[in-house]
Structure 1
């Protein structure tokens, strides 16, 4: 809200705090979210507690690649020559999509706090089961089946981090200082995912060096077991959370879905399409990294060296995500997303044109630099801002379901990309085209995504959540919906009412 709107209510609150005996307590719902009497820490820690759990998404999705490599070395016949390898690595996608949809509903209908708390418990329980593979017995097939089942349920917990955790983090940023809200959302969502990937590569490298390749059976279990630590460290903070104040004020008890669909279907379709395309194309980014890794370390390098170079691959994401957090506050999520993904597409086409020269030992250093720029731009644009756009382009009352659907479409896009882009490589007429074709597809989709964003995504400012809630209420009232049924009496309201009696 603007200062002109915020200042009278804030002044009323200040006067009441100075002279409570002479004044009636102002209605808490009339006080702007960022003017509520809270300390800086009280405003900040809910954003951290809600968003930081996405570190687990990055870590668990990053570490499974290393674990898959270890299992392939341990069981070269049974693991590689069956569907086990594919199932273990990809089944979490299915669970994540299901979790995003389920927790999207529960976070709106029931509670942001308790939906997030349950998702955290699922991550802890099934993360521990993955590491121990309990119930697998001595059978290798039983081991793979157990890992597949536990990874599926682990994915459900990861899915809950999006519509419960990220949504609550976005709503909590409304209590922070205007001009800084987007960066704090990004620091504890996308930046956490990227940091999780980097840490997963560091952990895999250290564990394999410590155990040596003779003890990979212990190494992969340790790597998965460490994944339990991040959600466990957040469990108490999430237990102590209160519901975001914006959610308390705007939640619905009855959902007029026909009105909601008429109001938001176009916007949801666009946001979901952007997330789908971005995650679909992002799979091809690993194709180039695999190529330059093969050039640098060759086929005979020890396992730990391969994991160590993956640290560099993932580290490219961090500067892009960090810079994008500040640019999102300066230029807005829409412009940062659109220009970031557009420039990524341009760099992608440059890499396609120079692929024949770049993919050689002589130019491997240039290859690494250009690939790093390409990866950083992906995080600076859509990586940082698609979650912001999804969380701030709809009303609070339906944000969990809206965000959950958009995020689920992103995961489906990634899943589809893992199958479609390798087909493009396989059907290429020569090795050079096998490297170029997936990036031609991905770069073209980047440009298309930029156009979608410029044309159809609304401008998103610091106060968009509050203004969007107002716009949604006005629409509902114009269509005969009783908006007085919205909201929940908060503890602050009860204190104010008691003080006025």
Structure 2
């Protein structure tokens, strides 16, 4: 017996049966696009999630500029101490723990709470975009997630540039504190947004109240492994380039260049993420997220290898513009590919009842990749010794090789993803559970089941 017939049976057998419940059944079992909501009601949750991810991008990106200022203030006392490594370590460790903890919490309790923890806001965004018009869902998911993170990274380089210009390089102690303080403003808005945010309809329908762990692992282990590997490799290079842009650009700029120019160059390079993310948002709808990811990361690898070979010609102060453009293209292609689509794939290739945990684990592996990358890149530069050309070549060579490997993993391990994948995946997971003896009639939030008149177990 399917869910709709089960609900109708429960209603008709109830002693306090109310004809109005039939309307509730029709509403809550209709396709998501037919749920009676206005355009603003459908788009508001996506906007709220995007606001949180902008904050995440800024806070992660500004750490690089702050680290550069601290190194100039304290010199060897900072660069040779544990403080330099402790700052990014604390940030990433806290994020990884948050992904895992709140991933479980969002599935067991509420999607509204996922608004308060970085990348898990994408879970709510994915389910909210499922209520939008077919053919446009991927782009709106990307505009609310990856594009917002990229915008946060751009602002995280622009703000230090302006702050240093305003305070002067003799007042860096004030400058780095101001940069961090400004990062506290966007998260405060989330407290209000969380109050206004309502649970996505798909979560209300499919919340799981009992979790058969072994069945879930058996069903999703391979898909989770593939997505985690791709996310790990992407963040390994993307976050490392972004966070250390203000540091390794010193090798290109004149040694006497003012600090604000250093930050300005980082801002210019980070800005290339935006057109890449924007283009990838549309390509994801047109050719699908799997192929958008594959082509984006393949082209990124090709450009990276080309830059590796031509780095000796780029390593001149007079050619900074060419260096910025090529590096920007390299980073933009990363956004066209995995930047835009890895979160989308993680959210749409997992079913609603366990999406928070699936997404949280994959995103945590992405953060581990970023964490390792922030250590590996400086070691690659140090390994080159005093050879400035090799200092630039090594990071691009490693990243480009990983790009090609990511494309292979995606081609072999990822299925095709359509516009209705969230609903399709939910039905596929339900059938699997039912075939293995799990009673899916218990699905749904408490208020959803009360509206339908289905007895709570």
TM-score normalised by structure 2 residue count: 0.89
1:203 alignment counterpart: 159
**Aligned match of 1:441 in 398, 418, 422?**
398
1:373 aligns with 2:329: yes
1:223 aligns with 2:223: no
1:121-136 matches, within 5 Å, as: none
Deviation at 1:70, TM superposition (A): 2.1
Deviation at 1:26, TM superposition (A): 5.4
1:96 is paired with a residue of what secondary structure? helix
1:408 aligns with 2:408: no
Q: Give me the whole-angstrom Cα distance separating, in 2, the residues matched to 1:113 and 1:287.
A: 30
1:36-115 matches, within 5 Å, as: 36-115=35-114
Q: Give me the whole-angstrom Cα distance separating, in 1, the residues matched to 2:20 and 2:229.
A: 55
Q: Give me the whole-angstrom Cα distance separating, in 1, the residues matched to 2:298 and 2:376.
A: 22
Q: Give the unaligned 5+ runs of structure 1.
A: 1-19, 120-159
Deviation at 1:439, TM superposition (A): 1.9
Aligned-residue CA RMSD (Å): 2.4
Is residue 70–residue 216 contact of structure 1 (8 Å, CA) maintained in 2? yes
Worse overlay, 78-87 or 326-335: 78-87
Q: Give me the whole-angstrom Cα distance separating, in 2, the residues matched to 1:52 and 1:219.
A: 25
Q: Give me the whole-angstrom Cα distance separating, in 2, the residues matched to 1:291 and 1:419.
A: 13
1:322-337 matches, within 5 Å, as: 322-337=278-293
Change beyond 3 A, Cα 1:485–1:423: same
Deviation at 1:487, TM superposition (A): 1.1
Change beyond 3 A, Cα 1:480–1:24: closer
2:310 alignment counterpart: 354
Is residue 284–residue 442 contact of structure 1 (8 Å, CA) maintained in 2? no
Q: Give me the whole-angstrom Cα distance separating, in 2, the residues matched to 1:303 and 1:276.
A: 31
TM-score normalised by structure 1 residue count: 0.82
Change beyond 3 A, Cα 1:459–1:228: same
Q: Give me the whole-angstrom Cα distance separating, in 2, the residues matched to 1:214 and 1:421.
A: 29
Deviation at 1:286, TM superposition (A): 5.5
Q: Give the unaligned 5+ runs of structure 2.
A: 1-17
2:296 alignment counterpart: 340
1:281 is paired with a residue of what secondary structure? helix
2:362 is paired with a residue of what secondary structure? helix
**Aligned match of 2:434 in 455, 474, 477?**
477
1:132 alignment counterpart: none
1:162 alignment counterpart: 119
1:25 is paired with a residue of what secondary structure? helix
Q: Give me the whole-angstrom Cα distance separating, in 1, the residues matched to 2:151 and 2:53.
A: 10
Q: Give me the whole-angstrom Cα distance separating, in 2, the residues matched to 1:73 and 1:289.
A: 16
1:136-182 deviations in whole A, cap 9, x for unaligned? xxxxxxxxxxxxxxxxxxxxxxxx2222x110110010111111111
Q: How many residues matched?
A: 435
**Aligned match of 1:274 in 230, 241, 266?**
230
